[in-house]
Amino acid sequence: MSRRIIIFNLILFSFFGLAGQTAKYSNEFLSLGVGARALAMSSSITATTSDIYSTYWNPAGLVFINNNKELSAMHSEYFAGIAKYDYAAFASKSGTQSAIAFSLIRFGVDNIPNTSQLIDAEGNINYDKVTAFSAADYAFIISFSHKSDIEGLSYGVNTKIVRRTAGNFAKSWGFGIDLGSIYKKENWIFGLMLRDITTTFNSWTYTFSDEMIEAFKITGNVIPQTSTEITMPTIIISSARSFDLSKNFNFLTEFDANISTDGKRNVLIKSKPLSIDPHLGLELGYKKVVFVRAGIGNIQKETSLKGKMKTSFQPNIGLGVVIKKTLTIDYALTDIGNQSIALYSNVFSLKLSFNTKSDKSIHDDK
């Protein structure tokens, strides 16, 4: 129970302590990533995404799905299973030129003890007053992709509706738009993703009981009022190249750079107002059936226990298997800390690709 009480205190700070401010790390649950393939490659997939997971990474890649329809699902857990992260999506292709998809993301912590009424006015502890609540973030995304008349160029757009809640006392609605493009030239692929290009806002409202208000006063917290939280744009540029090593083996490498516009961040290249976070992904494929993947990202400067500055990074690895060109099972072992802490998370994702009718014009554009 003590661990979840700590989570309760963190929820109070993250949802209420920054109320009314323009938070630098707003809607961070939308930065975790989806699909074990991408996570194994350290999110280096903006240029080469070509399936249903493009709804998150770059909607321009949706038009390259193999069949008429694709379904996907992913579940992962963080912090010893306290936080749950889920993703589900459906994509439909229209001929060979366009595709549309719908996806849902949830990141939540459930059964958090609400200890605001644990101690009464006389200082007595009453555990019967402890209730539970959930803190959850949701995003519903509508994606559209189309092939341009320019050979090798595709583009796409995401419309995002964001819902965030903390029990019955904090709720918000948000809205944002992403734009993406992919350009293919022989063995080279280039990608551009403009995330939250219009800025994504969250409009918060709060409802507190008298006991909650008293808890805020006792702990020295400001009682939050109705507010708006803004997510600033992020620009992701990427380049990738594929190599045919032999008849059966193919090698792919992709380099991405995330350019944030919300001020200095703890990344490899940091300045005001822009910071640049580079990451690299590798994939070795055998007959387009079995894949081995690796990636390096999250390069940061941190202070060691001895007070010295050092550079840390996040290594990831993974595997993928395609069964009868229909079912894809991907696995990633991701380091959610760094190479010294080694807090690893196991991520599995599934993708089902199928046709609902005979259409000989649909083929693999990869």
Report how far apart, in Å, the C-alpha atoms of 84 and of each of 90, 138, 337 are.
Answer: 21, 12, 17
282-319, pLDDT tens digit by residue?
999 999 999 999 999 988 887 777 778 888 888 999 99
pTM of the predicted protein model: 0.83
Q: Residues for the chain: how many in total?
A: 366
Q: Kindly tell me if the per-residue pLDDT of 8 is higher than 60.
A: no
63-100, pLDDT tens digit by residue?
999 889 999 999 988 777 788 999 999 999 988 899 99
Q: Residue 225's pLDDT is what?
A: 75
Q: Kindly tell me if the per-residue pLDDT of 186 is higher than 60.
A: yes
Q: Are 275 and 265 a contacting pair, CB within 8 Å?
A: yes
Cα separation, 141 vs 5, whole angstroms: 32
Cα separation, 153 vs 365, whole angstroms: 12
Q: With left for phi above 0 and alpha for psi between -120 and 50, is residue 139 left, alpha or beta? A: beta
153-184, pLDDT tens digit by residue?
999 999 999 999 988 888 999 999 999 999 99
Q: Are 177 and 198 a contacting pair, CB within 8 Å?
A: yes
Residue carrying structure tokens 């690709």: 353
Q: Which of 120, 65, 111, 108 is nearest to 89 (CA)?
A: 65
Q: Residue 357's pLDDT is what?
A: 62
Cα separation, 187 vs 250, whole angstroms: 11
Q: Are 182 and 47 a contacting pair, CB within 8 Å?
A: yes
Cα separation, 121 vs 224, whole angstroms: 23
Q: Residue 361's pLDDT is what?
A: 44
Q: Residue 120's pLDDT is what?
A: 65
Q: Which of 354, 353, 352, 333 is nearest to 344 (CA)?
A: 333
Cα separation, 81 vs 341, whole angstroms: 17
Vertex 120, ends 115 and 122: CA angle to 5°? 150
Q: Kindly tell me if the per-residue pLDDT of 56 is higher than 50.
A: yes
Cα separation, 261 vs 241, whole angstroms: 28
349-365, pLDDT tens digit by residue?
999 999 876 554 444 44
H-helix segments, the chain: 2-12, 36-40, 54-57, 210-218
**What residue ranges in the chain does DSSP mark as E strands?**
69-78, 83-94, 98-114, 131-147, 153-166, 170-185, 188-195, 200-206, 227-231, 234-244, 249-260, 269-270, 275-286, 290-303, 309-323, 327-335, 344-354
Structural fold of domain 2-354: Porin (2.40.160)
Q: Residue 7's pLDDT is what?
A: 43
Q: Kindly tell me if the per-residue pLDDT of 338 is higher than 50.
A: no
